[in-house]
Amino acid sequence: MNVEVLDLEYRDTPHTIAAFLVSAGRGPVLVETGPASTLPALERRLKEHGVTVGDVRHVLVTHIHLDHAGAAGWWAARGAQVYVHGRGAPHLIDPSRLVASATRIYGDRMDMLWGTVTPAPAERVTVVEDGDAIEVEGLRFTALDTPGHARHHHVYRLEDIAFTGDAAGIRIPGSGWIDLPAPPPEFDLEVWKQTLARLRAEKLTAIYRTHFGPSTEVSAELDRVEALLDETVETIGALEARKLERPAMLAAYREWVAEQARADGAGEDTIRTYEIANPRDMSVDGVIRYLNRRER
Ligand SMILES: [Zn+2]
């Protein structure tokens, strides 16, 4: 079994979004598609490995956020079978709500960031539930329902490794900092902790993060994500309690993260890469929404 990390160079920045080319000597399986805006880069990367678009018959996506599955419809329209969480599947088949909510956030930057999101033909979408095995091309993936970042999130286990999407946070090469993507509307601290417990119990020898790449320091990094969940909610909650205006709040949170990333060895370029992979305003909004929900 072989795993290649494909750097999609999202926004011309290396190490922001990855897709993974997995093979056991038969056909290739793609894990994550990246956004439609990075399809030219993805095609280039596949070609470097001698793979054409037509060779890819099976595509797994961890969840339907545009940085992970924005190009899923494109692949499905070319005949690939796309495997996705049951909560996400309807939005790949009809992405209109997904696109509308992203457009509310990104406005006229939508196309530059994400490209064109196209619908997946329903018969090309396979709904995967918790514990399901996906047996394709001589590989056997197991889907693990792993909410917390989003309710439509799967981690895919393969032998003793796993593709963790956003469930194990973000780690950009060149620093030890683990970054937390806590977006609205579904970020949930307690639920995410249950996901971490589940991932620990899997006794994985390596995890492959979409942002970005493999790591073998699995248990220490899962512990770090757990601590960061509390610290992040506490920090943003404290900023909210001070009734700061949103720009001031955003600046304070950004600096809080940057300081710790620097302490963990990240240079300014790496900190920028973290922010591209994980825009700070998303976590501020996600945590506030979570706190409001918890209060009610
Ligand atoms: Zn992501």
Between the CA of 169 and the centroid of ligand 1 the distance, in Å, is 9
Distance between CA atoms of residues 38 and 239, nearest Å = 35
Q: Residue-wise over 73-97: b if at least 16 C-beta within 10 A, else e? A: bbbbeeebbbbbbebbbbbbbebee
Q: Within the chain, where are the H helices?
A: 39-48, 66-69, 72-77, 89-93, 96-106, 110-114, 189-201, 218-241, 246-263, 268-277, 280-295
Looking at per-residue pLDDT, the higher value among 57 and 174 belongs to: 57
Distance between CA atoms of residues 64 and 91, nearest Å = 8
Between the CA of 67 and the centroid of ligand 1 the distance, in Å, is 5
Per-residue pLDDT at 162 exceeds 90:
yes
Between the CA of 166 and the centroid of ligand 1 the distance, in Å, is 5
Per-residue confidence at 296, pLDDT binned at 50, 70, 90?
A: confident
Tell me the C-alpha to C-alpha distance, in Å, between residue 292 and each of 101, 241, 251, 282, 285: 20, 12, 21, 15, 11
Between the CA of 6 and the centroid of ligand 1 the distance, in Å, is 15
Per-residue pLDDT at 174 exceeds 90:
no
- The angle formed by the CA atoms of residues 134, 51 and 20, to the nearest 5 degrees, is 50
Q: What confidence tens digit (pLDDT) does each residue in 14-34 have?
A: 999 999 999 998 999 999 999
What CATH fold (topology level) applies to the domain 2-295?
A: Metallo-beta-lactamase; Chain A (3.60.15)
Average pLDDT over residues 69-87: 98
Between the CA of 165 and the centroid of ligand 1 the distance, in Å, is 7
Between the CA of 71 and the centroid of ligand 1 the distance, in Å, is 14
Between the CA of 13 and the centroid of ligand 1 the distance, in Å, is 15
Residue 254 structure tokens: 């950004």
Q: List the domain boundaries for the chain.
A: 2-295
Asked if residues 39 and 19 have their Cβ atoms less than 8 Å apart, the reply is: no
Between the CA of 88 and the centroid of ligand 1 the distance, in Å, is 14
Between the CA of 55 and the centroid of ligand 1 the distance, in Å, is 26
Asked if residues 102 and 116 have their Cβ atoms less than 8 Å apart, the reply is: no
Q: What confidence tens digit (pLDDT) does each residue in 242-275 have?
A: 999 999 999 999 999 999 999 999 999 999 999 9
pTM over 0.85: yes
**Beta-carbon contacts of residue 136 (< 8 Å; ≥ 6 apart):** 27, 29, 57, 58, 81
Q: What confidence tens digit (pLDDT) does each residue in 188-240 have?
A: 999 999 999 999 999 999 999 999 999 999 999 999 999 999 999 999 999 99
Quick one: CA dihedral 167, 169, 174, 177, positive or negative?
negative
Among 17, 140, 4, residue whose Cα is nearest residue 67: 17
What is the three-class DSSP state of 21?
Answer: strand
Q: What confidence tens digit (pLDDT) does each residue in 91-132 have?
A: 999 999 999 999 998 999 999 999 999 999 999 999 999 999
